[in-house]
Amino acid sequence: MAGSLRSLISEDQLQARIRELGLQIRADHPNETLTLIAVLKGSFMFLADLARAIPGDVRIEFLGVASYHGGTRSSGAVQITQDLRGSIEGHACVVVEDIIDTGLTMDYLMRMLEVRGPRSLKIATLLDKPSNREIEVRVDYVGYAIPDEFVVGYGLDLGELYRNLPYVAVYSP
Ligand code: IMP
Ligand code: MG
């Protein structure tokens, strides 16, 4: 795909921050079995590293969501492409997301998950673009806050490409 990539967050920076987040999440939930709810596809790489950074018992669930349809602007319409397999009733849950931009996707997901009766429901996002928020979202764990630029890599895509980059890059058309 034409366009240029400029590294924004290196592989080492990502890994160091994720180790901190893993310990912080465990410290906030001592002795609890944590259910990590990965929002697919973008969070798959963050999930894999975050899960390994959390000591103790962890369960993994996947939630498939499509909100972009290939472009670089959020459509606001959230489509569930794959629901959770198991019940989260009574579970201590952390939703694992790649990036929060307008907040529309996460707001939708939180309302959808809250009615299922989790014991607790927190949000961990690798990246946050707070300047672009259209709806307030209570984010518990943020890897890095970034400016309002379109980023790819480490799970994040443009038209399904660049997810395999081990770092986060700004994409310029
Ligand atoms: P929101 O609904 O606007 O908060 O957007 C959330 C979703 O849009 C994220 O889960 C990403 O999948 C996607 N997204 C937002 N910003 C970017 C970006 O800079 N690069 C790649 N995907 C993005
Ligand atoms: Mg996403």
State percent of the chain over pLDDT 70: 94
The mean per-residue pLDDT over the stretch 125-143 comes to: 96
pLDDT of residue 152: 98
pLDDT band with cut points at 50, 70 and 90 for residue 79: confident
Q: Is 105 in the pocket of ligand 1 (CB under 6 A)?
A: yes
Distance separating alpha carbons of residues 158 and 68, to the nearest angstrom: 10
Q: Is the CB of 155 within 6 Å of ligand 1?
A: no
Average pLDDT for 32-51? 98
Each domain of the chain, given as residue ranges in start order, spans: 11-21+31-150
Task: Read off the pLDDT of each residue in 2-6 and give the average, rounded to a whole number.
Answer: 90
Neighbours of ion ligand 2 (CB under 5 A): 42, 98
With a 6 Å cutoff on the Cβ, whether 156 touches ligand 1 is: yes
Q: What is the mean pLDDT of residues 64-93?
A: 82
CB 151 within 8 A of CB 169: yes
pLDDT value, residue 66 = 83
Taking CA atoms only, the protein residue closest to ligand 1 atom 22 is 156
Task: Quote the pTM value.
Answer: 0.94
pLDDT of residue 45: 98
DSSP codes, 51-93 = HHHS-S-EEEEEEEEE--TTSSS--S--EEEE--SS--TT-EE
The domain made up of 11-21+31-150 has a fold known as Rossmann fold (3.40.50)
pLDDT of residue 117: 98
pLDDT band per the 50, 70, 90 thresholds, residue 71: low
